Amino acid sequence: MSWELWKTHSLTRRTRLTEDPASPHPAKDNVQRDGADGRDRWRFVPIVGWIRSYQRSWLRGDLIAGLAVAALIVPKNLGYAGIAGIPLQNGLYAAAAGAILYPIFGTSRQISTGPSSGLAAVAASAVAVAGITGTDDIASFVALMTLASGALFLVLAVLRMGWIAQFLSRAVVTGFLFGAAIDVVIGELPKLTGTEASGSNSLRELGSWFRTLDDTQWATVVVGAAALVVAFGLRFIAPAIPGALVLVVGGLLASRLFDLAARGVALVGDIPRGLPTFEVPDTQVLGDHAGTVAVAAVALVLIGFSQTAGDSRTFAARHRYRIDINQESVAQGMANVGAGLVQGMPVSTSLSASSLNDHTGARTGLASISSGVIVLLTLLFLAPLFSDLPKPVLAALIIEAVVMGMMDVPEMRRLLRVQPFDFWIAVAAIAGTLLLGVLAGVMVGIALSLIWLISVATRPPMPVLGRDPETRYFRELDENPGDEQFPGLVVLRLDGGLFFATSDALEDRVREVALSTPEIRGIVLDFVAVDFIDSQGSAKMHEILALTEQAGVTLRLARVKPAVRDVLRRDGLLERLGHEGSYLSVAQAVEAHVSSSGGDELGRAAPDVDQR
């Protein structure tokens, strides 16, 4: 292919891949981005791009989606604020900030950003670890934590470390969220019975709650039980109805019609009318609890970003446009910084709200901005109405949200069926969360992910290969014990990179084969799966060559990729191997062995060769 033809092909391919149905001239837009210096001066503010191409026909869908999502998130965010232990209106402050700021900087057009039950649980755990009491102090601490997580998001964006979203394995996240949901449910039980409970972990708190059941307020139990029936009943019988909104409206009506406060049912208390104001949290708290804030910020980023990356990719694939993970980090950072400055709480992607946003016709970020504006109008005109909301109703709302949103039973079953090891990793994350607390549970999850990653990286599979008599392809001998082998020859394939963490494992495997296979005269290393090698891996290849030479075994390489070949050439290994030491295919390497052994037929099999 000529250079000019290649350039034309590349430009066409880039234009096709970046085509966005929300742009009236997608090809033209992308060609303009690729022109000149290839940099769009508005690339850090994606809202400019979709505003330029906005079509009036999209307005109705965006506004309807914004209203529908607002009806969902207003009551839910009251619950999330309750989980975090901050004033309920602060949850709405964060919801408005996230909904308005994300679409300005984000690249996904259907994502709805706001507080979530998982992030609220992390915030509550950090508050408990820091030992902070008092509503105002808790609100300031949570806001500071939110600011710290926002700053960390921005640092990751500057360093282009969006890949960190992949660090926590899905099994760990599933287990952590499951355990955090149990922790939250246990914490809400006293509100359903009108009692108190305390404990250093979830299990002790549960035991404390059982011991207080003699003091149960039965009016509170009736209200709480009715609220749970409504919340879960609507979820299963009529999932299209916004159960949280029905629950809040029903709770407010019941509170006034039956004068629940006079019957001993606790209410959430005063919720002031008005818009949030910008305020920098008290930085003295950071000095007193820097470690807790830092750990919480890392946990919030890992959990929040893992959700954001997956959800934004899903919507981008569905609507055929591209997202920029590093720009998503910018968007999440700005949303959390904004939420922190209005005394809010951590925000991230809400899958339920985003799905509703998409389902009701959202085409651009205007839908999210509309949701944020409606939340602000709610704060301005309707906030005092929520003051009469019974606490057991709020507890039921919280329990329904975490059970249905965080306890992923189908995924746990899938893990057990597909890969039991991942299932037990998830169980360990659940146990860590319940025994050590939510914040410590995140650290347990990170440790489990790291241990799993190290275990996999340092022990790559190295199967012995045989040849399929029919197709004449080389494949794993363990799975196909009837495949052909060749006298005095073992073919090994390294399934992974060759670097400091795997080089010793390769040497051990070659030594095992060279010293334990009877009458072995040659080893072929198939490097088709080796796409990376470092200096230590190259040095180890010299040691392996010396090992095979001492054992009287000829070492041959096959299917070495260009990047790996360049490293081996610069380190002098290819020169030591000679011109017959590296081959384009396994078949060529095997043929070289057969020829050097005096054989005259490559297809002759040798059943007495060791098959390990």
Question: What token pair was written down for 151?
Answer: 């700053």
Indicate if 536 and 393 belong to the same structural domain: no
Indicate if 565 and 477 belong to the same structural domain: yes
Tens of pLDDT, residues 353-408: 898 899 998 999 999 999 999 999 999 999 999 999 999 999 999 999 999 989 99
Q: Whole-angstrom Cα distance, residue 173 to residue 406? A: 10
Tens of pLDDT, residues 31-49: 344 444 444 567 789 999 8
Indicate if 515 and 414 belong to the same structural domain: no
Q: Of the ranges 28-32, 441-445, 586-590, which one carries the lowest mean pLDDT score?
A: 28-32
Q: Whole-angstrom Cα distance, residue 177 to residue 409? A: 11
pLDDT of amino acid 604: 44
Q: Provide the residue range defining the domain that includes 307.
A: 58-454
Answer whether residue 147 is part of any domain.
yes
Q: Whole-angstrom Cα distance, residue 378 to residue 245? A: 13
Indicate if 35 and 77 belong to the same structural domain: no
Indicate if 33 and 106 belong to the same structural domain: no
Tens of pLDDT, residues 98-113: 999 999 999 999 999 9
Tens of pLDDT, residues 159-196: 888 777 666 788 888 998 999 999 999 999 999 999 99
Calculate mean pLDDT across residues 61-78: 93
pLDDT of amino acid 599: 59
Answer whether residue 607 is part of any domain.
no
pTM of the predicted protein model: 0.78
Answer whether residue 311 is part of any domain.
yes
Indicate if 86 and 14 belong to the same structural domain: no
Indicate if 133 and 36 belong to the same structural domain: no
Answer whether residue 537 is part of any domain.
yes
Please determine, for residue 27, whether its predicted confidence score (pLDDT) is greater than 70. Answer: no
pLDDT of amino acid 318: 86
DSSP-based three-state secondary structure for 559: coil
Please determine, for residue 72, whether its predicted confidence score (pLDDT) is greater than 60. Answer: yes
Please determine, for residue 13, whether its predicted confidence score (pLDDT) is greater than 80. Answer: no
- Name the band, by pLDDT with cuts 50, 70 and 90, for residue 352: confident
Answer whether residue 297 is part of any domain.
yes
Indicate if 472 and 450 belong to the same structural domain: no
Q: Whole-angstrom Cα distance, residue 577 to residue 355? A: 58
Please determine, for residue 565, whether its predicted confidence score (pLDDT) is greater than 90. Answer: yes
Q: Whole-angstrom Cα distance, residue 392 to residue 549? A: 77
Other Cβ atoms less than 10 A from the Cβ of 150: the count is 26
Strand 464-467: give its sheet, edge to edge. 474-476, 464-467, 489-493, 522-526, 554-558, 582-583
Q: Whole-angstrom Cα distance, residue 358 to residue 375? A: 19
Dump the DSSP string for 57-107: GGHHHHHHHHHHHHHHHHHHHHHHHHHHTS-HHHHHHHHHHHHHHHHHH-S
Tens of pLDDT, residues 460-485: 999 999 999 988 899 999 899 988 98
Instruction: Decide which of 25 and 406 is more confident.
Output: 406
Indicate if 413 and 474 belong to the same structural domain: no
Calculate mean pLDDT across residues 106-124: 92
Dump the DSSP string for 346-408: --EE-HHHHHHHHHTT--STHHHHHHHHHHHHHHHHTGGGGGG-BHHHHHHHHHHHHHHHH--
Please report, for the domain that includes residue 561, its CATH number: 3.30.750.24
For all residues of the chain together, what is the average pLDDT?
87
pLDDT of amino acid 184: 93
Tell me which amino acid residue 423 is.
F
Indicate if 247 and 297 belong to the same structural domain: yes
Tens of pLDDT, residues 511-563: 999 888 888 999 999 999 999 999 999 999 999 999 999 999 999 999 999 99
- Kind plus residue range of the DSSP H or E element containing 339: helix 325-341
**For the chain, what percent of residues have pLDDT higher than 90?**
64
Please determine, for residue 88, whether its predicted confidence score (pLDDT) is greater than 60. Answer: yes
Tens of pLDDT, residues 190-236: 999 999 998 888 999 999 999 999 999 999 999 999 999 999 999 99
Answer whether residue 46 is part of any domain.
no
Q: How far is CA 44 from the centre of its chain?
A: 23
Indicate if 15 and 92 belong to the same structural domain: no
Domain finish residue from 454, 472, 500 = 454
Q: Whole-angstrom Cα distance, residue 55 to residue 32? A: 20
Indicate if 448 and 500 belong to the same structural domain: no
Answer whether residue 50 is part of any domain.
no
Domains in the chain, number: 3
Residue with tokens 């999932």: 239
Answer whether residue 47 is part of any domain.
no
